[in-house]
Structure 1
Amino acid sequence: MTDISALIRLCPPPGNPMVIDWEVVEAALGMPLPSDYRQLAETYGPGRFNDYLAVFHPHGVTEYVNLTGPMSARIRGQLHQQERQGRFPVPHDPDSLFAIGSTDNGEYLFWITNPAEDPDRWRITVNEARGPGWFDYDGNLTAFLASVLAGRIRVPLFPKSLTEQTPQFTPSHPVLYKPAPTPDQTPTDTNAIRIWAQANGYSVPPRGRIPPNVRQAWEDAHRA
């Protein structure tokens, strides 16, 4: 049984699959996406599991749950700030973390984007909302959701009540969302980044994902 089949059996999706232009989405992000996430996003659409856990989606209804919105860059900036201030230890390189979901309590789910060019090998990590705790899961996002909702794994950062109810998915109305540029937002014009990087002595591949240090340098150079 595939991961998406296990999740569907456990928590039926709301309706017909959604059509998503993944070429446009990946171009906006400047990176490829895991195949399990594509299936998950198409099957369920935007919404929340057990009224607690929201997975970011290309058609997310607000910037806070939109995959191509500014949240991932903002959260990464917060992690860097925590490291500089010595507040909470971050067990992973913040530049390797891409926020993919959030909870009502303020935890964030991340992809650990290593290796960068093989997204189907990306693992999942979750950080504590207001504390130093982290939880790593050695598997993809869809398998993580199925395991959590079925009670096969216990995430200490999540409330016990999360698995004390019948798994359900509550959809939000899908709308196309195009976020306005902000100082914290990862730029979407990857060609412009490559041109700038080459002009400033950075080594970048001719296609594929922009290295995190180059993205950070671009953001720093273009920060208002």
Structure 2
Amino acid sequence: MRVPQMGSLGFLERSHIPLVLQLLFLFLFTGLLVAIVIQVSKIPNSEEIQWEQKKQEKMYQDLSQLKSEVDSLCRPCPWEWTFFNGNCYFFSKSQRDWHNSITACQEMEAQLVVIKSHEEQSFLQQTSKKNGYTWMGLSDLNKEGEWYWLDSTPLSDSLEKNWNQGQPNNIGGQDCVEFRDDGWNDASCDQKKFWVCKKNATACSASK
């Protein structure tokens, strides 16, 4: 009687093998399904894509509007010019002789700088000291020792104090004036130096 019982137990053990395989398959299938769902969830749907496109369009419109507003702002001076006390100043990054410096300023509808006040002198002196030796619109080319600005006005007594010690000395025929260190120096007009132009600032209209 024991032999059939043992056979029946073996049969029961063998009958559980397909069930184990089914459970294993079900587990693997479930894991695969979960992985697919996760990947699909990462793909943006059409509504998300449209929303992202609208957001980018809105940013572009905002930037375009901002650029338009900046362009419409009143600028008293052109780009790369410096505003000071109602005037615009251009400090060159290249060097020319005195006469070519005059031409360069004229091409920009300006004038090689003519100094009108102590405040202007201080501003120009400090800026030129940082940049290097710089031409101004002052010379005694017409008559030695008589200094005139390019607008034909004579050098005022109040500005005479800006000459460096021992200047002007006219060594070798020095007829043009430069900013040098903390004051003025006469130099040969043929020497190449930096230069500074000056013109009136633009008045902003009320509409802007």
TM-score, with structure 2 as normaliser: 0.21
TM-score, with structure 1 as normaliser: 0.20
For the pair shown, which has the larger CA radius of gyration, 1 or 2? Answer: 2
